[in-house]
Amino acid sequence: MKRISTVQRKLLKSIETQRTIYGCSVATMPPCDFKPDPYTGPSYEEVRHIRKTNLSPALLTYYRKPLLIHQGHMQWLFDHTNRRYLDLFAGIVTVSVGHCHPKVNAVTEKQLKKLWHTTNIYMHPNLHEYAKKFTDKLPGNLKVVYFVNSGSEANDLAVMMARMYTGTFDIISLRNAYHGASPHLMGLTALNTWRYNVPTGFGIHQAMNPDPYRGPWGGKHCRDSPSQTQRDCDCKPGECKAGDMYLDQLEDVIRFSMPKGRCGGFWAESIQGVGGTVQFPKNYLKRAFEKVRAVGGVCISDEVQTAFGRLGSHYWGFETHDVIPDIAVMAKGIGNGYPLAAVVTTPEIAAGLGKALHFNTFGGNPVGSAIGSAVLDVIDEDKLQQNSAEVGTYFIRELMKLRDECECIGDVRGKGLMIGIEMVTDKATRKPLPADKMGDIWEETKDLGVLFGKGGLYGNVFRVKPPMCITKADVDFSVSVLREAVKKHM
């Protein structure tokens, strides 16, 4: 048995003290051998002051008492007091292989000593080796990649590519979707919390969101997930009448809103992320792609949150829908926190950008390419796709038990390590849990050592999208923390 370090012993004692104070029945936080460095930065109060006076007020801060994060190691984060937290949000689904993964760190350090940056108008080996390794992992004819710096930038580029290739300006996205918040993409995003009252979205139309839980149609056989909605339906296993109804709504948009029935492109996330981990009815996306292509459109898969094995059963989220898009957009986990993103498409669609100059100063730079390549290696070497399938399924099943215990947990959904927990006032009405109650539970989970994300139009969905290295012991701890927080505040 491993000897527990002094730091771990102090932490466990702190947790036991907290349990005594609150009367908690929380499982013991799994041990961690990593020892963080002493914090030497500005005081907590000084950081709060700087954030208030020198940073944009639009910058969101999580929690009533925000954390001052100091260091990270794999699935763990440490605050300025070196208190440890289990990170279930991974920097908004961005840290894929683990905070400061030793192999990624080593590759980064080696490249930094060799060459930080040079224009990609010159050739350097990292970009070309990474492009080949990256596109080799993609199916079909998705063989041309453009490296950029963020998911928003990638979606911006994809919009232009779709319109240039098809010659049709009007495109379709889904309500409840999030594809970025740049002025160009604000129309592609269909969540009012992310939209300002400025002109945006010219030529973009939204179809009804095929949501089996909150939408008008849905039942207990809709989703590709261990967890189904608890809505009644008369569908037999293998069929989904709700999917048919939502497809009728998509056809309605094409019929009435597209110029002469033509479509420039159709955007969809494999699982909606910011919108609250919403899954579509099985086969919806495959049939939607068929309908869009029949009227001349290209199909774009937003893989910013669902790629790189996170869904467990497949490497790319779109593969879970048995489709191959014409354009795929990746970001976040691609660089494990380094600003890196990509647009992948076919040679035919890529040829459109040859009509004028197109250049990205930092996309595919030597450091980014080295990091992206190392991330691909670690996903395979550490078997993180397999871990996402095994630990993610276990997580969902444990949360389903908690859902059955608690009237305020209306739905558990997701696949692999992309999970949503929708909080409601009661299961019958599905009325969203009020913000103050949601905040009470959320704050409590943080105080007990687990960092959940939060999303959905009403802000009532806990988002579970951790580094893909978490363990079943981490799951047990997380579920016990959420159970305790719900019990205390509901």
Residue that terminates a domain, selected from 356, 381, 406: 381
Q: Bigger pLDDT: 357 or 291?
A: 291
In percent, the amount of the chain with pLDDT more than 90 equals 86
Give the CATH number for residue 439: 3.90.1150.10
pLDDT at 4: 47
Rounded CA-CA distance 363/54 in Å is 29
The pLDDT tens digits for 162-180 are 999 999 999 999 999 999 9
In a domain, 1, yes or no: no
323 and 214 belong to one structural domain:
yes
363 and 462 belong to one structural domain:
no
Domain hosting residue 252, numbered range: 103-381
185 and 234 belong to one structural domain:
yes
Spatial CA neighbour of 183 closest among 228, 153, 225: 153
Give the CATH number for residue 224: 3.40.640.10
pLDDT at 423: 98
**Reported confidence tier of residue 184, pLDDT bands at 50, 70, 90:** confident
**Reported confidence tier of residue 261, pLDDT bands at 50, 70, 90:** confident
84 pLDDT higher than 60: yes
Rg of the chain over CA atoms, in angstroms?
A: 23
130 and 238 belong to one structural domain:
yes
Three-class SS of residue 267?
A: strand
The pLDDT tens digits for 6-54 are 544 554 554 444 444 344 678 999 999 999 999 999 999 999 999 999 9
Give the pTM.
0.93
420 and 347 belong to one structural domain:
no
**Residue 404 Cα to chain centre, angstroms:** 26
The pLDDT tens digits for 102-115 are 999 999 999 999 99
pLDDT at 22: 41
The pLDDT tens digits for 293-335 are 999 999 999 999 999 999 999 999 999 999 999 999 999 999 9
91 and 195 belong to one structural domain:
no
Rounded CA-CA distance 269/418 in Å is 13
145 and 264 belong to one structural domain:
yes
63 and 86 belong to one structural domain:
yes
Token pair listed for 11: 């932490």
In a domain, 347, yes or no: yes
Q: How many domains does the chain have?
A: 2
Token pair listed for 389: 């399938």
